[in-house]
Structure 1
């Protein structure tokens, strides 16, 4: 049995990690940290865990956590992980960072996030469908939620080096904004409304560029605009992929089926994916349609932003890093309706 620690366990991703690991047959969560909630029961913050978890939040130094854990999840804001990782890295624990601190090349991170990186190092990007090296790693950087849906939607065609440009239109449930209430998440501002924001300069665009340009360094025309919708969970991404030449539906569909044939959590479907089909699960559903008049492929992906977009993907990474079956503790359907 593996012992896991979660640093920053009071937020949505921390709570989701505890929920998902509650029925994982090979993992026991024995430390959950929160300075603010130190001493209170985890289930007082995450009330869905009543009778399932009896831990109290602790305020404990990272070095101490390594004495009791085999794996540590960092569910903290960007800028915080880089202060903690150096205190963990020389121990025997495996590390999965859910923040943005190690996702990007250092110079890009400093430009995008506007701060100096205190602990530059090369860390595998934990989108396992595109990064098989995760299996051999002790430290992995978990992807952002928007880039997960976007990159999975476009990678098979970009890999063929036949793409002229990509325009991503992503719509996310409000949980992506975090557990602290904001003007955006205030019910009267969100209900019966859709809010576009950071139309051309969202930070996750850098992740999307970095990953897609691994497949085709010549693809520079990549656009991304996010929206918040009146839903709690889920991200629906519509990728408008403009090709160099005309292609038939079946040809493109087979490219996707072949590209993801060995990936348990990618479901390439006929028709249009729906957030409601993946909610609560680690699946990513992908569907597509051809616009023959414009050499355009419209690819739609659907994920749960808190599972495949965050905590579920972190556990998927953990399974591979620890030599477990990739699907362990994650092989269950979405919540429908």
Structure 2
């Protein structure tokens, strides 16, 4: 079936969406979610490495029968769309994003190219930025924090998976001015490394093993700092260490928080319940969550408590790194950008 032949019986007047880079884990899931969405139309899926291959041959469980094509914005079903989800690597994404915006197409970018507002920080952790002039136009794609701005923008920067879990888990404390020092012990399944890296990872190096990586240098640390600072934790520098688990997907952050000297913690559970009251994709739960609790959902499950011995706040957050950490959160933002209920296609 060609890319233009999708639709699954939906009306053909909904916004048309291109998924660029659909052969990777994030892009493939984004294509699945758009293909099943009650409003959006999946116009085309593209890949530089797997053009000519049906997506359901690469990922049978997604059940998307479209054929991956080489990106060509001269083609009507590539270039004459209403929105695009771009799942390219950092550095490679920005030029395409710039071209899409120039054509009046709304974009949710899943790379790191527009997440960091400070150009120097981006170039320290990534590469020379191809389009720094667009940094000021991007809205950080955490709907729970930037819902109104996302609804008004043409460019959403999809957060990293670790920052999604960490920021949502710490946001109520940051807003309340309670953060003094934060240690984040994070764990994720192998899919967080992406399809190419996962294919190179030998089973025996992962199975029955837990490994820290990116110690002191991980690119997501300044992203977490940036957003906690914006919430009121001025100048905070988190200690962030991720660990690789023998799971295909799923992510857990355990956050150990030293409270500011002049702060008082009354009822930390009530603080979280009030902060996330009415949020459709945040569950404040009564016990520390596990990754299976949120698998294949757009939910972030959070548990918070105070350690009576140390006085520290212990906050735990679990997400599916491919869903809330990447692709379903992108759809949540895309819903807002087009004025749809943000839960459309996600419940």
- What range describes the TM-score normalised by the shorter chain of this pair? over 0.9
Q: What is the match of residue 83 of structure 1?
A: 95
Q: What is the match of residue 61 of structure 1?
A: 72
Greater shift, 107-116 or 122-131, is seen at 107-116
Closer, same or farther: CA 93–114 of 1 in aligned 2, 3 Å: closer
Q: Of residues 329, 335, 340 in structure 2, which corresponds to 1:319?
A: 335
**8 A contact 1:275–1:302 mirrored in 2:** yes
- 1-side partners of 2:83 and 2:198: how far apart? 32
- 2-side partners of 1:263 and 1:252: how far apart? 18
- 2-side partners of 1:218 and 1:119: how far apart? 25
- 1-side partners of 2:125 and 2:253: how far apart? 22
Task: Give the gaps of 5 or more residues in structure 2.
Answer: 1-13
Closer, same or farther: CA 184–154 of 1 in aligned 2, 3 Å: farther
- 1-side partners of 2:199 and 2:97: how far apart? 32
Q: What is the match of residue 126 of structure 1?
A: 141
Closer, same or farther: CA 323–290 of 1 in aligned 2, 3 Å: same
Q: Of residues 292, 300, 309 in structure 1, which corresponds to 2:325?
A: 309
Matches within 5 A, 1:1-337: 1-49=14-62, 52-62=63-73, 64=75, 67-105=79-117, 106-121=119-134, 122=136, 123-132=138-147, 133-181=149-197, 185-244=201-260, 251-331=267-347
Greater shift, 88-97 or 4-13, is seen at 88-97
**8 A contact 1:238–1:299 mirrored in 2:** yes
**8 A contact 1:30–1:55 mirrored in 2:** no
Deviation at 1:219, TM superposition (A): 4.1
Q: What is the match of residue 4 of structure 2?
A: none
Q: Which contiguous aligned blocks of 4+ residues in structure 1 show a shift greater than 6 angstroms?
A: none
Name the SS of the counterpart of 2:267 in structure 1: helix
Deviations 1:126-163 (CA, angstroms, capped at 9, x unpaired): 01111121111111110000000000111100111122
Instruction: Kindly tell me the number of residue pairs found equivalent between the two proteins.
Output: 328
Q: CA RMSD in A?
A: 1.7
Name the SS of the counterpart of 1:169 in structure 2: strand
- 1-side partners of 2:127 and 2:189: how far apart? 26
**8 A contact 1:272–1:300 mirrored in 2:** yes
Name the SS of the counterpart of 2:248 in structure 1: coil
**8 A contact 1:163–1:219 mirrored in 2:** no
**8 A contact 2:16–2:40 mirrored in 1:** yes
Closer, same or farther: CA 184–242 of 1 in aligned 2, 3 Å: farther
Deviation at 1:217, TM superposition (A): 4.8
Closer, same or farther: CA 247–287 of 1 in aligned 2, 3 Å: farther
- 1-side partners of 2:139 and 2:205: how far apart? 38
- 1-side partners of 2:82 and 2:192: how far apart? 28
Greater shift, 151-160 or 53-62, is seen at 53-62
**8 A contact 2:101–2:154 mirrored in 1:** no
- 2-side partners of 1:272 and 1:86: how far apart? 42
More helix by share: 2
TM-score, L = length of structure 1: 0.93
Deviation at 1:289, TM superposition (A): 1.9
Name the SS of the counterpart of 2:102 in structure 1: coil
Name the SS of the counterpart of 1:206 in structure 2: helix
- 2-side partners of 1:58 and 1:182: how far apart? 23
- 2-side partners of 1:128 and 1:203: how far apart? 22
Deviation at 1:292, TM superposition (A): 2.3
